Structure 1
Amino acid sequence: MDADNRIRQEGGTTAREATIDAIIGRRVTGSVLPALLLAACNRHQSALAPFGAEAASTRTLTIVLLVAAVVIAASMTLLMRHAIRTPGERLTHDQGMKLVLWAGGVFPTILLFALLAASLPLMRPAPVSPADLRIKVEGEQFWWRVVTAPGPGQLVSANEVRLPVGRTVAIDLAGGDVIHSFWIPGLAGKMDMIPGRINTLVVRADKPGRYRGVCTEFCGLSHALMAFDVVAMEPAAFDGWMAGQRGASATASAAAPGAALFARYGCGGCHAIRGTDAASAIGPDLSRYGNRATLAAGILPMTTANTAAFIRHPEATKPGVRMPAFDHMPEADAVAIATYLQGLK
């Protein structure tokens, strides 16, 4: 210690202090690098790029908590450095006890209470009126059944949720087989989908665009391959879309060769196409299939080749999928069925 004091008096840095400074430098670097990595996050599936009111509030709260944590960590680091570099006789026992009381007790209590008071209003459930739009989403292995405006005139689809911007929407969530978890990062928080129970997530989109949602509860082999598209539309465009979906039948390609093959291979035993004899609710509803941007629950681009390949070998894309393989089907028949499906608009 005498040698260290002599070095300090001569304006130098002891080996111990150099080691402490190196540790502090590594901690600062460890805090900065994650922040730089966050800059690479995408915008169509990121809680840091919100397009909904709840996600925006969550981001604000996250930033506040992050800033507070950084300030506290930086303050404690500087205090530690100062305490180590300061000779022991500079601080009396009474001064040390007061420091522990205020810095270790009073200040953290006030800060945590302020953060709690600021966050509690954000936890209040949003109100819903009978006039608000309702959407029912049911998690399956490994896709999403979506019913817009349940009841007479309801629209049944799969793997795509459409929302009107600026309107409150109540999303009723259920699990069809096992527990799933519904999450649209840029819109709202996560909510579990439990078989036999309905959980309601109230959301409001503030910005139009196409986004992405995912399942965040392990539900089987293809849990990571279970995404869905989220389309936030201007109110007038959404109303027009609803009217169009309820209007003309989605059987414009009924005379196509693929329509007969679809029936011959028994695809209607699991899938429904409005306006035809196929009316099963076991698998995804394929009405207006050609309007979707992706297939296999957001995993593959919507192309004829991808659709045909998925018909013949669905397990190659989705391990554990319940859809049976049609590997005995000639490729030409699969392409014809895929062409027919893509014509359903």
Structure 2
Amino acid sequence: MNRLGKTVASISAIGAVLLLSGPVQAGDTLTRIKERKNLKCGVSDGILGLSMKDQNGRWSGMDVDFCRALSAAVLGDPEKAIYVPLTAAARFSALKAGEVDVLARNTTWTLEREAVLGILFTGVLYYDGQGFLVSKSGGVQELAQLNGSPVCVVKGTTHEGNLAQVFGAKGWDFRPVPLESPGEAIEALHEGRCKAFTSERPQLIAASIKAAGGPDPYIILPEQISTEPMGPVVRWGDDEWFTIVRWVLFTLIRAEEEDYTQTNVRSRLENQDDFAARSWKEMDGLVAKSLGIDPGWGIRIVESVGNYGEIFGRNLGERSSLKLERGFNKLWKDGGLMYAPPYR
């Protein structure tokens, strides 16, 4: 696919979202959430480590934990989050139409999406890059061996455009095989309909784990072809809601920076001898009044899911089945990119 083809495909996809998403009043999102007494959170249709529903109907994952933290902040209860599974192709139209209040669905932050779709990314919840899952039996060991090959991509993602740019720059050719879900992609890879499946690492690992033969027949190539900063998304036009969602994310990061954990945050913030905690409590009341949420929102956030490091470790890191390294998702003081702006 050449660059013109990539541009046309991108414009067509964006246009489809704009046509399918009816207008919704963006302002007063918090008012509607309080009236309903629930938070509608758009998540994936099943990606291990990010958003997945188990056999008992319980959702888990990094995106899910963010929704729980947001629900705890604005409604006082993490259990009042309702999870709306969305395909990659349907996520933006659902957000624009008001079917969900926030999108927490491993979504890459791009200029085109913000400028054209009328949405805003509130920050980065997870940094990753686009990689390639291949079958060991196929003999592919490096990216160059995919020149001219069919490559599975999930519809509605940035992956096909990234492929076109990188392969085009190298003078390579490829044949995209667009599919609705990672499950369909791993099935197509297993059946030989594509030579590789391309996505972010959590999706690739999760897809291989769920494959019929398990993860052993597959490997992830060492090359990554993009940077993928992924985070929560809201509609344009509601600055108050944007601010709340953004600072819930920053509070999770700040909690790790200052060693607040799920088990110690309440005792520390109630300790009058802890100067840093006392300063946080002073800001808590002022911010709560300004944004229309109940005081104690910071404590509720961290008590509901832990700090950023706890969330990462439980869902993607050393305490999860994915065992991913934190990489860029480490705190700034540990060589990563994660830090929270100051509270005052």
TM-score, normalized by length of structure 1?
A: 0.24
Q: Which has the higher contact order (CA 8 A, sep 6+)?
A: 2
Largest Rg, 1 or 2: 1
